[in-house]
Amino acid sequence: MSQPVTIIMIEDDEGHARLIERNIRRSGINNEIVPFTNGTAALSYLFGGDGSGIDHGGRALLILLDLNLPDMTGIDILRRVKENKYLKCAPVVVLTTTDDSQEIKRCYELGCNVYITKPVNYESFANAIRQLGLFFSVIQVPRSAP
């Protein structure tokens, strides 16, 4: 990622967060990663003090989203992000343990850009995250509407 893209990682399990971060770094991604362990904190960061999301106007964001959060489901966050005019362009990567086809379909319908199931097998997991990192290094992320 040539641009200064900020990766917002919303993941309640700190272990998962650490493993994801490590493997992304291993694929050569050095962008800033802002981790959140619950939905409320993530939403207040994303939408700012006034709840409009204007704070991030003009910034390039990429959101890594887990669906199973302690205070809300990731789907709620996904919906709100995609309904916000400043944030809707930010690519959202759903990275979760759920591999239920209904859930996957729903996420794509709501505007998720990539859906990845976390494999339990660590080799597959590490591999998937590294490939995701490689993917991050080539995709273009638009700036939010100013």
Partner 1 sequence: MTPEATRWRAIGQILLLTAGLIVLTFISAGSVYLVNQAREDARWVVHTVEVENQILLTQLQMRRTESAQRGYISTLLPDFLTDFDTAASALTVDLARLRQLTSDNPVQGHLLAEIIPLSNQRIEEFRKTIALARAEHVDDAARIVREGIGRDAMSHIDDLANEMRVEEDRLFVQRTTSADRSQSLAASMTGVGSGLVVLLAGISIFLVRRSARARDTAEAQLRDNNLNLEATVDARTADLREANDEIQRFAYIVSHDLRSPLVNIMGFTSELDELRTDIFKRIATLATASASPAPVAAGEIEPALEGGDKQLSEGFSEALGFIKSSIAKMDRLITAILNLTREGRREFEPVEIDTRELIENIVATVAHQASEAKAQIRIEPLPAINSDRLALEQIFSNLIDNALKYLKPGVPGDITVRGRTKLGFAIFEIADNGRGIDPKDHQRIFDLFRRAGEQDKPGQGIGLAHVRALVRRLGGTMSVSSELHNGSTFTIALPIGWKAGNRNRDP
Q: How far is the CB of 82 from partner 1 (least distance, A)?
A: 24
Q: Tell whether residue 19 is a contact of partner 1 (CB under 8 A).
A: yes
Side-chain-facing half-sphere of 52: CA atoms under 13 Å? 6
State yes or no: residue 108 binds partner 1 (CB under 8 A): no
Task: For residue 81, give the nearest of 10, 14, 29, 30 by alpha carbon.
Answer: 10
Are the C-beta atoms of 9 and 35 separated by less than 8 Å? yes
By CB under 8 A, tell whether 127 contacts partner 1: no
Among 28, 51, 100, 127, binds partner 1 (CB under 8 A): 100
Nearer to partner 1, 120 or 138 (CB): 120
Q: Does 146 bind partner 1 (CB under 8 A)?
A: no
CA–CA gap between residue 101 and residue 112 (Å, rounded): 14
Considering only residues 3, 40, 44, 97, which one is a binding residue for partner 1 as defined by CB under 8 A?
97
Residue type, 23: N
What the block records as the tokens of 60 is: 């390039």
Quick check: helix, strand or coil at residue 33?
strand
Q: Which two tokens stand for residue 18?
A: 């650490």
Residues from 26 through 65 that contact partner 1 (CB under 8 A) = none
Interface with partner 1, residue 125, by CB under 8 A:
yes
The binding site for partner 1 (CB under 8 A) comprises: 13, 15-16, 19, 22, 68, 97-98, 100, 118, 120-123, 125-126
